[in-house]
Structure 1
Amino acid sequence: MGKSVLIVGGGIVGLSCAYYLHKEGHEVTVIDKSGMDGGASYVNAGYLTPSHIIPLASPGMMAKGIKWMFNSSSPFYMKPRLDDNFLRWAWAFNRSSTRAHVEKAIPLIREINVLSKDLYIQMHGSGELGDFHLEKKGLLMLYKTRKEGQHEKEVARRASDEGLEVTELTRNELDRLQPGLSPEIEGAVHYLCDAHTSPNEIMDRLKMYLRVQGVVILQDEEVIGFTRKNRRITGTLTSRATYTTDEVVLAGGAWTSGLLQNLGIKLLLQAGKGYRINVPRPLGIHLPAILMEAKVAVTPMRDFTRFAGTMEFSGINHRIRSERVEAIARAAQAYYTDLEIRADEKQAAKCGLRPVSPDGLPYIGKTSHLENLTIATGHAMMGWSLGPATGKLVSEVISDLPLSMPLDGFHPERRF
């Protein structure tokens, strides 16, 4: 028998939860405090990335954060601030940035990414959302320096050991695949296992499909609290009404930890701001790529090319730092010959807040505190890639079905 389920959060994770819960016969309502037309699910690079097997929390990352702390245009920026939640998160992030953690995380990240990519492909093949943009051209990792090249080749070898399709390219091989690259680029690693999409297109079609299927989607309505009795949530209070449902899913992205505080649950989570610039002109860029030294993502999407990047920890805000936008534009122009990003295109840049856990792995599953609460957040830079897998797993948890993969490594109450 189906349950009534309220999903808090209308990004790719929340909508994916709605998609799979509806398929299992549940009565689903999605609620979001925004107009559901912006944020991390709309400004990301659109990658489906089995290749991204290394978590953000890895050796050397905290040192980079400290080194770049006073450079607000750096790729990885932590704004100095005396905030208890941030300091506890930073301490846990540092403790997680070990080789042992990376080795433990790699198979988990690989498995959930492969599962999610397969689900995107199934969704595309079903025709339920129409013929949305999904291309399986892989992902180029472009490097200018021997240091970055050697590092990525080591990752590529590990990815190959994990069964992922990857190849190393010489400069001549690279030029045949993607003309117009800077002569400073030495070569690339090509992750053939990856794919790319146009996020806005999928988000709009997913919302339309869900509404047609009878899923209730409530926009511009903020959750302000909960009522509870014993070990169950009995009501979800919003700025407009109170909802009583059998199950509650918190998929509120960077805002999830704040929502959990209303329930007396502490979840270490920080907002990692990312930026994007869209260029709606033909640029001759055919393959998605990451510009290694600059940590900038380049994606040829439907009718435009997107340049995205940075991880900025400065709290929950949507302030656009012009120096960060300029850094993305400069990097792109340094890797592609004859590329110029115009002032109006930079002026139209947007940002989104990714929810980042201390160990770089998502939080998926129930807690010991409340038996009808499921958490789905903390995906860091892989939120878009992992949306469908998270939705599928959440639907299996709530429906008491066999899990597509074990969730122990993603448990919301794991220790750091």
Structure 2
Amino acid sequence: MNKNVVVIGGGIVGLCTAYFLNKEGFEVTVIDKGDITSGASFVNAGYITPSHIIPLASPGMIAKGIKMMFNSASPFYMKPRLDADFLKWSWQFHKSSTPAKVEKAIPLIKEINLISRELFTDIKNSGDLGDFQLERKGLLMLYKTEASYLHEKKVADRVAFEGLEVTELNKEELKTLEPNVQIDAEGAIHYECDGHTTPTEVMPKLLNYLIQQGVSINTNEEVLDIKSSNGILKEIITDKDNYKPAEVVMAAGSWSGELAKKLNLSLSLQGGKGYRINVERETGISIPAILMESKMAVTPMNGFTRFAGTMEFSGNNTIVRKERVLAIANGAHSFYPELEINSAEINSAKTGLRPVSPDGLPYIGKSTSIKNLTIATGHAMMGWSLGPVTGKLVSEVISNKKTSMDITSFSPNRTF
């Protein structure tokens, strides 16, 4: 077997794919159009979330998007635009947002997250990356209103039914768990099954490990064209070089759809923009939380607390909308009244694009029309959580091994 593989994309999925392919003895080259220091893999909340069993494409989400469409500060924002790909994706998203399809997705999302959670632990225990933050303190769903509580209680009941650890906390129990910060909330649902990391710590360590193992990391290199004939990908042409690999992995996040077009493939994807603010001073926050009414995430990372959130569909751009950053700052203050995020912290906010498929499930698997192409993208808000398992599954696919789970439902060739 020719063991030369090119991975297009150097985010968490691309690097984890390189990690597991390298373990299988493949000669791996990673190509990324940036310098692998920014983007969704660096600005996410760092969650490992088996509790997130409900896909983004769920009943009522399109209605919420339309309702919020003309408020660019809203947590779920879809910028009105006449774009054929976006309109097609929106219709597919709508068709996927049914109770039956959500029900089918739940066990799949649970299984793939649990496998990935264990792989994070395996990677840490291997010592390959040295030491890095990997904690299992769970995730607090903080709520102010009964409506939010009742909404999350339905999810929590289902999470418990699926065998995952979840408890309910009243105000006093919440205070006992988080004694060093004032929280303006009526209570919380605590998903004890979840964990968290510091992405800006893991990514450089993973990158350094791959370089030490002889993986070629080619940064600031853009793919200009991809040539195929008779169902085989023959050549990748970049602005710096040409490659003729035996196998190719497309893990370019939100840009994967555009790259797929170069092979006359239709890969329905939209970039869902998220924002983060880092507070590099003591906040007293020790457990990750989602602030339900503010629809944002809070994570105590190594050296700072991260406040992250929003899902913005406005095209593949990295423009920082100040009103959305301010919404995060204000949302944090509403739950942590003693915390004021200052103007310097607001001005240093960053953004990243998460690749979102129409049904909220990732694309993982071989292309049916290009037999030496494997696709790994479309993870929406679970990209960080599912990075290791995606890399493992891709390495199994390319090695012709039995996959760690059935990936039929993740097929990049599926219809909506």
CA distance in 2: counterparts of 1:183 and 1:18, whole angstroms: 42
CA distance in 2: counterparts of 1:396 and 1:329, whole angstroms: 42
> Which residue pairs with 2:198 in the alignment?
198
The DSSP-based 3-state class of the residue aligned with 1:384 is coil
Which one-letter code corresponds to 1:336 in the other structure?
Y
The DSSP-based 3-state class of the residue aligned with 1:224 is strand
CA distance in 2: counterparts of 1:135 and 1:180, whole angstroms: 19
Once the two structures are superposed, the pairs formed by residues 43-62 of structure 1 within 5 Å of their partners are: 43-62=43-62
CA distance in 2: counterparts of 1:403 and 1:2, whole angstroms: 20
Alpha carbons 2:181, 2:284 under 8 Å: kept: no
Which one-letter code corresponds to 2:317 in the other structure?
N
Alpha carbons 1:275, 1:349 under 8 Å: kept: yes
The DSSP-based 3-state class of the residue aligned with 2:286 is coil
> Which residue pairs with 1:89 in the alignment?
89
CA distance in 1: counterparts of 2:6 and 2:183, whole angstroms: 53
> Which residue pairs with 2:261 in the alignment?
261
CA distance in 2: counterparts of 1:407 and 1:173, whole angstroms: 40
TM superposition shift of 1:337: 2.7
Which one-letter code corresponds to 1:224 in the other structure?
L
Unaligned runs of 5+ in 2: none
The DSSP-based 3-state class of the residue aligned with 1:225 is strand
Which one-letter code corresponds to 1:277 in the other structure?
I
Question: Does residue 20 of the first structure (1) align with residue 20 of the second (2)?
Answer: yes
Alpha carbons 1:182, 1:334 under 8 Å: kept: no
Alpha carbons 1:2, 1:27 under 8 Å: kept: no
> Which residue pairs with 1:162 in the alignment?
162
Which TM-score applies when normalising by structure 1?
0.99
> Which residue pairs with 1:252 in the alignment?
252
Matched length: 416
After superposition, give the CA deviation of every residue in 1:107-156 in whole Å (9 maximum; x if it has no partner): 00000000001000110111110111111100000011111111111111
CA RMSD, Structure 1 to Structure 2 (Å)? 0.9
Which one-letter code corresponds to 2:263 in the other structure?
L
TM superposition shift of 1:186: 1.1
Once the two structures are superposed, the pairs formed by residues 328-339 of structure 1 within 5 Å of their partners are: 328-339=328-339
Alpha carbons 2:61, 2:97 under 8 Å: kept: yes
CA distance in 2: counterparts of 1:217 and 1:317, whole angstroms: 24
After superposition, give the CA deviation of every residue in 1:134-193 in whole Å (9 maximum; x if it has no partner): 111000000111111111111111111111111111111111011366664111100110
Alpha carbons 1:2, 1:24 under 8 Å: kept: no
The DSSP-based 3-state class of the residue aligned with 2:59 is coil
The DSSP-based 3-state class of the residue aligned with 1:385 is coil
> Which residue pairs with 1:209 in the alignment?
209
CA distance in 1: counterparts of 2:137 and 2:303, whole angstroms: 17
CA distance in 2: counterparts of 1:315 and 1:90, whole angstroms: 13
After superposition, give the CA deviation of every residue in 1:307-332 in whole Å (9 maximum; x if it has no partner): 00000000011110000000000000
Question: Does residue 37 of the first structure (1) align with residue 49 of the second (2)?
Answer: no
Q: Comparing 161-170 with 81-90, which one deviates more in the overlay?
A: 161-170
> Which residue pairs with 1:224 in the alignment?
224
Which one-letter code corresponds to 2:50 in the other structure?
P
Q: Identity over the aligned pairs, expressed in percent?
A: 61
The DSSP-based 3-state class of the residue aligned with 1:211 is helix
CA distance in 2: counterparts of 1:38 and 1:48, whole angstroms: 20
> Which residue pairs with 1:132 in the alignment?
132
TM superposition shift of 1:2: 5.7
CA distance in 2: counterparts of 1:313 and 1:265, whole angstroms: 22
TM superposition shift of 1:3: 1.1
Which one-letter code corresponds to 1:401 in the other structure?
K
CA distance in 2: counterparts of 1:328 and 1:147, whole angstroms: 21
Taking a change above 3 Å as real, the CA distance of residues 206 and 372 of structure 1, as seen in their structure-2 partners, is same
Alpha carbons 2:181, 2:285 under 8 Å: kept: no
Alpha carbons 1:139, 1:290 under 8 Å: kept: yes
CA distance in 2: counterparts of 1:349 and 1:17, whole angstroms: 29
> Which residue pairs with 2:377 in the alignment?
377
CA distance in 1: counterparts of 2:294 and 2:334, whole angstroms: 10
Which one-letter code corresponds to 1:117 in the other structure?
R
CA distance in 1: counterparts of 2:269 and 2:130, whole angstroms: 35
Alpha carbons 1:180, 1:336 under 8 Å: kept: no
CA distance in 1: counterparts of 2:259 and 2:387, whole angstroms: 20
CA distance in 1: counterparts of 2:183 and 2:50, whole angstroms: 29
> Which residue pairs with 2:308 in the alignment?
308
